[in-house]
Amino acid sequence: MKIIFENGDILNKKGVSYMNNNPVVKQVVDYIETHMDEDLSLDKIANTLHYSKFYIARIFAEQTKCTVYKYIQGRRLTLAAQKLVETKQPIVEIAYEAHYDSQQAFTLAFKQLYKCPPNIYRKNGMFSPKQPKISMLSPLHGYLFGYYLTGGKSAA
């Protein structure tokens, strides 16, 4: 069962949300995913893609129901969660790679998203992405096909 909203958004029975293939949002998502390890700001993204930061912020939020900042934060925390489960890398290193200035700030943000601190999440050994890469729809012969990126493996 799929619900198609007037704006073209689709919600499937699993609650996975797909959105129309907006070229600006796709460019922003692609840029973020490619430059995840760098300092990312709305100004930098807008300047690189040659759009107004206000336009990007508005279009991105309208299409994704999420701000650019929250998307970047969610993606970084999701990638950090994957590293916690799949590596033995120290939490403080993962925190810095996720662009947090301290392990304390990382732990607070991680706990807000994952409902437990990083050390407990690691001990549980099960990766569950909270912010996968935003999915896009592309038309092909009159049909809509979703493509998306999910990551990680989960421990049983």
We report the CATH number of the domain holding residue 20 as: 1.10.10.60
Is 102 a member of any domain? yes
Identify whether 155 is part of a domain.
Answer: no
Determine what percent of the chain falls in helix, strand and coil, rounding each to the nearest 5: 50, 10, 40
Domain-embedded: residue 70: yes
Given this model, what pLDDT does residue 57 score?
Answer: 96
What per-residue confidence (pLDDT) applies to 145? 36
User: Is residue 23 situated within a structural domain?
Assistant: yes
Is the model's pTM score more than 0.95? no
Helix (H, G, I), strand (E, B), or coil: what is residue 56?
Answer: helix
pLDDT in tens, 33-89: 999 999 999 999 999 999 999 999 999 999 989 999 999 999 999 999 999 999 999
d(CA 76, CA 54): 23
| 18 has a pLDDT exceeding 60 | no
Give residue 142's domain range.
2-147
Instruction: Render pLDDT for 87-110 as a digit per residue (tens, 0 to 9).
Output: 999 999 999 999 999 999 999 999
Q: Number of folded domains in the chain?
A: 1
